[in-house]
Chains A and B, each alone.
Chain A
Amino acid sequence: MPAKLYSNSRLKRFSLLFILVFLNALSSFCQEGEKAAVEKKYNPTPTILEHIADANDWHIMGHVHIPLPVIIYDMTAGNWEIGMSSKYPVVEEHEEASAHGHEEATESPISGYVMKEGRIVSGEGHQLLDLSITKNVFAMMVSAFLLLLVFITVAKACKANAGKAPKGIQNLMEPIVIFMKDEVVEPNLGKHAPRFLPYLLTLFFFILFNNLMGLIPFFPGGANVTGNIAVTMVLALFTLIIINVNGNKDYWKHIFWMPGVPVPVRMILAPIEIIGVISKPFALMMRLFANITAGHIIVLSLVSLIFVFGNAGESAVMSGAGAAVAVPFTLFISLIELLVAFLQAFLFTMLTSVFLGMAMAEHHHEEAH
């Protein structure tokens, strides 16, 4: 009986995933349908780049946008600009505008702030500091809310169920927490583990939730949060700071004056080690950014196959053929992305633990070197 239940829920999960992929394809279809009418050759690049990039509003489909709050500091004029993104006029790219024909010419001077390629820019070319709740910020807030909801629920359940067997969402999250605690953090950090465990768990679940939210093709998922270099940079910066703040005497000794090697080699090693201080978090930043962005690009490219095959809606038969190819491939890649979502969150956390563990390790030079 439990086996049947299991297969049943697995089936449900699979079908849910399939629906998600289908919706993904559908929403893209809606987005592209009208553009396709005017463009002769379908070019998927702008759509993909639009999806990958951050924006000041949330593009749902066609001309449907969810407005988001805009908070901008105009550094040239020295004033604040606050409002909803829907109030700013949209200007198209130069070549698109000329292709559309009916759009206003970009040569004409634009005053104030306008929406260009999803971002608010100054018509007068002012330098702007955009502190808006952009698509990525909003998606991050949704993930943060979910994280708080899930883990505070789990924490409450832990207290309420003390001495009892875990159940429900507590039972779902506890094994992951135990895995991270017993297999990742404690082997690397040893006695320091309890101090860093809450941070590393937050890091893991923050990346995981944002990765998974990014795989959901409709609002409020689908934003490329962990595939944005700014987000991964901040996470890597936190790692960099934590490592260097907690690094012990041996850690700095190994960087500037490597023990156990001849003096000329120490002089060569020092700059390499100093580069290593930066390159480790830099690799973390690039790895997460590239993996998640690549995943989004692959899924969107596969969906775009439908429009490329159908030459942007001109041939229904070819569109069908494209869909026949794209749907199974998208399903397959989406499953891989599901794995990647867990894998990258795990890798980022594990490598942070490893670097931190190395920086805090007590060395015994007599034996080790």
Chain B
Amino acid sequence: MHSILLMNPLITPDPGLVIWTIIIFGLLVVLLGKFAFKPIVASLTERQEAIQTALDSAKKAKEEMVALQAKNEDLLKEAKEERNRMLAETKELSIKILEESREKAKVEYGRLIENARKDFQTEKTAALMQLKNEAGKLAIEISEKLLKKELSDKAAQESLVTTLVNEAKLN
């Protein structure tokens, strides 16, 4: 068994092939390592880093964009609020002005009415005075005429006196 194992060329390492394998594989390790795999791995690492950096900066840009958008929205919101506030103020002011003018108009109107009333009162008083005077004058004229007519008749005079006396008594 031992000799069969040793003799079998399948599992007996051939010294020549061992030496050649060491030479070829050793040379390959040196040459491929230096001229192929080092530059390849370096370029791969570089690319990986470049891609990572690009991804990171893209992410950062996106975040900045979002922040900017939020800021814009805030600004817009503020502007809207400002506008609303200004609108409200204007409305208030206009209402106030309207109110004030209405108030003023009322006062003016009242004053005018008052003046008119006063004028009217004065006119009325004057008219009444005049009417009184006229009525007085008319009454005197009428009494004068009556007296002239009555005093021509004796009996009428006496009855008049009596009437007057009675009236006076009653008073």
With both chains docked as a complex, state the minimum distance between the C-beta of A285 and any C-beta of chain B, in angstroms. Answer: 9
Instruction: Determine whether A272 belongs to the interface, using a CB cutoff of 8 Å to chain B.
Output: no
Q: CB distance B29 to A233 under 8 Å?
A: no
A200 to B, closest residue via Cβ: B37
Residues of A within 8 A of B34 (CB): 198
Q: CB distance A206 to B41 under 8 Å?
A: no
Residues of A within 8 A of B29 (CB): 198-199, 202-203
Residues of A within 8 A of B20 (CB): 131, 133-134, 136-137, 140
Q: CB distance B9 to A151 under 8 Å?
A: no
Q: CB distance B43 to A230 under 8 Å?
A: no
Residues of A within 8 A of B16 (CB): 129-132, 134, 137
Q: CB distance B17 to A202 under 8 Å?
A: no
A234 to B, closest residue via Cβ: B21
Instruction: Determine whether B161 belongs to the interface, using a CB cutoff of 8 Å to chain A.
Output: no
Q: CB distance A202 to B43 under 8 Å?
A: no
Complex Cα–Cα for A150 and B17 (A)? 25
Q: Mark B13-53, 1 if CB is under 8 A from A, else 0.
A: 11111111110110111011111111111011010001000
Complex Cα–Cα for A233 and B14 (A)? 10
Q: CB distance A152 to B19 under 8 Å?
A: no
A133 to B, closest residue via Cβ: B20
Complex Cα–Cα for A317 and B24 (A)? 47
Residues of B within 8 A of A133 (CB): 20
Q: CB distance B17 to A147 under 8 Å?
A: no
Q: CB distance A230 to B17 under 8 Å?
A: yes
Task: Specify which of A159, A162, A234 is in contact with B22 (CB 8 Å cutoff).
Answer: A234
Q: CB distance A229 to B11 under 8 Å?
A: yes
Task: Specify which of B19, B38, B46 is in contact with A198 (CB 8 Å cutoff).
Answer: B38
Tell whether A198 pairs with B32 under 8 Å between CB atoms, given A54-B14, A54-B17, A137-B20. yes
Q: CB distance B21 to A231 under 8 Å?
A: yes
Task: Specify which of B21, B25, B41 is in contact with A177 (CB 8 Å cutoff).
Answer: B41
Instruction: Determine whether A168 belongs to the interface, using a CB cutoff of 8 Å to chain B.
Output: no
Task: Specify which of A129, A155, A197 is in contact with B15 (CB 8 Å cutoff).
Answer: A129
Q: Mark A132-144, 1 if CB is under 8 A from B, else 0.
A: 1110110011001
Residues of A within 8 A of B28 (CB): 144, 147-148, 202, 206
Residues of B within 8 A of A141 (CB): 24
Instruction: Determine whether B12 belongs to the interface, using a CB cutoff of 8 Å to chain A.
Output: yes
Tell whether A199 pairs with B33 under 8 Å between CB atoms, given A144-B27, A148-B28, A162-B43. yes
Q: CB distance B24 to A52 under 8 Å?
A: no
Number of interface residues of B (CB under 8 A): 34
Task: Specify which of B27, B37, B39 is in contact with A201 (CB 8 Å cutoff).
Answer: B37
Instruction: Determine whether A228 belongs to the interface, using a CB cutoff of 8 Å to chain B.
Output: yes
A-B CB pair tally, cutoff 8 Å: 124
Tell whether A202 pairs with B33 under 8 Å between CB atoms, given A155-B39, A174-B40, A235-B25. yes
Contact residues of B: prevailing secondary structure: helix
With both chains docked as a complex, state the minimum distance between the C-beta of B32 and any C-beta of chain A, in angstroms. Answer: 5
Instruction: Determine whether B7 belongs to the interface, using a CB cutoff of 8 Å to chain A.
Output: no
Complex Cα–Cα for A140 and B17 (A)? 10
Residues of B within 8 A of A144 (CB): 24, 27-28
Tell whether A234 pairs with B15 under 8 Å between CB atoms, given A155-B40, A201-B37. no
Q: Mark A9-40, 1 if CB is under 8 A from B, else 0.
A: 00000000000000000000000000000000
Complex Cα–Cα for A152 and B13 (A)? 32
Instruction: Determine whether B168 belongs to the interface, using a CB cutoff of 8 Å to chain A.
Output: no
Q: CB distance B40 to A137 under 8 Å?
A: no
Q: CB distance A198 to B44 under 8 Å?
A: no
Q: Mark A221-260, 1 if CB is under 8 A from B, else 0.
A: 0000000111101110010000000000000000000000
Q: CB distance A234 to B43 under 8 Å?
A: no
Task: Specify which of B21, B32, B50 is in contact with A202 (CB 8 Å cutoff).
Answer: B32
Task: Specify which of A137, A155, A163, A234 is in contact with B50 (CB 8 Å cutoff).
Answer: A163
With both chains docked as a complex, state the minimum distance between the C-beta of B14 and any C-beta of chain A, in angstroms. Answer: 5
Q: CB distance A234 to B14 under 8 Å?
A: no
Instruction: Determine whether B4 belongs to the interface, using a CB cutoff of 8 Å to chain A.
Output: no
Q: CB distance B41 to A181 under 8 Å?
A: yes
A49 to B, closest residue via Cβ: B10
Residues of A within 8 A of B14 (CB): 54, 130, 134, 228, 230
Instruction: Determine whether A178 belongs to the interface, using a CB cutoff of 8 Å to chain B.
Output: yes
Question: Which 8 residue pairs across A and B have the least CB separation, nearest first?
Answer: A198-B33, A151-B36, A158-B43, A230-B17, A230-B13, A198-B37, A234-B21, A130-B16
Residues on B facing A (Cβ under 8 Å): 9-22, 24-25, 27-29, 31-41, 43-44, 46, 50
A148-B35, A233-B13 given; name 20 further pairs at CB < 8 Å.
A52-B10, A130-B14, A131-B20, A132-B16, A136-B17, A147-B28, A148-B31, A148-B32, A151-B32, A158-B39, A198-B34, A199-B29, A202-B25, A202-B33, A203-B29, A230-B14, A231-B17, A231-B21, A234-B22, A235-B25
